[in-house]
Amino acid sequence: MLALYMDHNVPRAISEGLRLRGIDVITAYEDSADDMNDPALLDRATELGRALFTQDDDLLAEATIEEKIYAILDKKLFEIVMTIGKVDPVTVSVSEDFRSEILGFFDLQGFQNE
């Protein structure tokens, strides 16, 4: 059964509509967690065995180990791309990008060494 944890950015009507369709929903308000930051809400949903449902466009798992690992891999892959000559040295544009195939989640427009 699908079990969701709704953060404080999700309108009540969405939570109620999902409940009417038989989805198990807990809101951050009901859990007295509406003052938690995004990483804490993600951790709380995970503790409860639920998927976090949000409408917060800026929600990134910045405090998670996974995000840090992806950042390290992204940097290393860029170094590999630079070494094998798949980047235009003048514009630093990537001519062949294999990051999405390896890591599976990147927006290829923002591929730059930071």
89 vs 105 pLDDT, higher one: 89
Q: Is 18 helix (H, G, I), strand (E, B) or coil?
A: helix
Domain residue spans of the chain: 3-53, 65-104
Give the contacts of 41 (CB within 8 A, at least 6 positions apart).
5, 7, 28, 33, 52, 54
Pairwise CA distance, residues 44 & 49, whole Å? 9
Average pLDDT (16-32) is 92
Report pLDDT digits (tens) over 36-92: 888 888 889 999 999 888 877 666 545 466 667 777 877 887 777 666 656 677 777
pTM above 0.85, yes or no: no
Pairwise CA distance, residues 81 & 91, whole Å? 14
Pairwise CA distance, residues 44 & 7, whole Å? 10
Q: What integer pLDDT is reported at residue 74 of this predicted model?
A: 78
